[in-house]
């Protein structure tokens, strides 16, 4: 009987030890599980941070690529413009030089008295000069050079160079009344400005225009009375 009690007591102690060991094992597992969870969380945070960095680098590379492509497109357009300009205006200096013989030809033809009777040889010479002038103008037009129409036009500082003023009360001030030297355009650029004479009001007319109406009328009456 005593022996059986002893065995039972030993069994109880063994069972208690097993339970204690199990509880300790579970505690260790819980601790290990907590440590693993913390490690996983840190790894997830690091992975997320690395992913964000990669996304930022990708966005930066995309922006840089777009910027480089835009710069290349601007360079291409500028190169195309410069290429077109070099083709259109590459001979601008030669074009300016060739205008001088044309001016001399114009002066020679304008000096001929059309009302005067000329011999056949002079007539043939005049006809030859007219043909040269026609071919000269045609050659200019083929190269995009055109003459500026100036007479009876409003003075434009972008196209004209005023050489003198001519009193003319029949015209508004600033109207081109005479072309001293022809001006030319090359495509859409000024090749040479036209040298012109510009109209202005006479001094007497200007004084009348600036007077009050009553004083101006009195002055006109006085002038008419004198005449």
Domain identity same for 82 and 3: yes
- pLDDT for 158: 93
If asked whether residues 105 and 29 sit together in one domain, one would say: no
Please tell me whether residues 68 and 116 are part of one structural domain. Answer: no
Residue 127 three-state SS: helix
Last residue of one domain, picked from the residues 89, 107, 127: 89
Output the pLDDT for position 17: 55
Confidence of residue 4 (pLDDT cuts 50, 70, 90): very low
The verdict on 139 and 158 lying in the same domain is no
| CATH code, domain with 203 | 2.30.22.10
- Contact in structure between 145 and 180 (CB atoms under 8 Å): no
Out of 29-33, 68-72, 146-150, 198-202, least confident range: 29-33
Shared domain for 109 and 180, answered yes or no, is no
The pLDDT of residue 192 is above 90:
yes
**200: buried, middle or exposed (CB in 10 Å: 19+, 13-18, 0-12)?**
buried
Please give the pLDDT value at position 227: 40
Asked if 139 and 165 sit in the same domain, the reply is no
Residues 15 and 99 in one domain: no
195 and 117 inside one domain: no
Q: What are the angstrom distances between the C-alpha of 65 and each of 62, 70, 72, 73?
A: 5, 9, 10, 12
The answer on 67 and 1 residing in a single domain is yes
Of 199, 221, 219, give the one whose Cα is nearest residue 211.
219
Question: End of a domain among 143, 158, 185?
Answer: 143
The boundaries of the domain holding residue 135 are 90-143
In this structure, are 17 and 78 located in the same domain? Answer: yes
Report pLDDT digits (tens) over 27-68.
555 555 555 555 556 666 777 778 778 888 888 888 888 998
DSSP collapsed to 3 states, 5-54: HHHHHHHHHHHHHHHHHHHHHHHHHHHHHHHHHHHHHHHHHHHHHHHHHH
| Total domains in the fold of the chain | 3
d(CA 164, CA 197): 5
With a CB cutoff of 8 Å and minimum separation 6, the contacts of 201 are 167, 168, 169, 173, 209
Domain check: are 34 and 104 in the same one?
no
Q: Which residues does 133 contact at the CB level (< 8 Å), separation at least 6?
A: 102, 105, 106, 109
Angle, vertex CA 154, rays to CA 196 and CA 173, nearest 5: 85
């Amino acid at each position: 009987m005593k022996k059986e009690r002893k065995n039972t007591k030993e069994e109880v102690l063994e069972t208690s030890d097993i339970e204690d060991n199990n509880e300790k094992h579970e505690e260790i597992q819980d601790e290990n599980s907590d440590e693993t969870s913390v490690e996983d969380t840190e790894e997830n945070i690091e992975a997320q941070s690395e992913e964000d960095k990669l996304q930022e680098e990708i966005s930066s590379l995309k922006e840089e690529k777009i910027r480089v492509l835009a710069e290349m497109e601007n360079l291409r357009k500028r190169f195309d413009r410069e290429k077109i300009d070099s083709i259109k205006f590459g001979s601008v200096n030669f074009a300016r030089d060739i205008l001088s013989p044309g001016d001399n030809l114009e002066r020679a033809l304008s000096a001929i008295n059309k009302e005067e009777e000329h011999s056949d040889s002079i007539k043939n010479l005049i006809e030859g000069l007219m043909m040269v002038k026609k071919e000269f103008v045609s050659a200019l037009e083929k190269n995009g050079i055109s003459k500026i129409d100036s007479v009876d036009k409003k003075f434009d500082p972008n196209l004209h160079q005023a050489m003198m003023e001519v009193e003319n009360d029949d015209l508004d001030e600033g109207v081109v009344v005479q072309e001293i030297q022809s001006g030319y355009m090359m495509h859409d650029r000024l090749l040479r400005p036209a040298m012109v004479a510009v109209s202005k009001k006479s001094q007497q007319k200007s004084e009348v225009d600036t007077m009050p109406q009553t004083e101006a009328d009195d002055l006109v009456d006085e002038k008419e009375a004198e005449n």
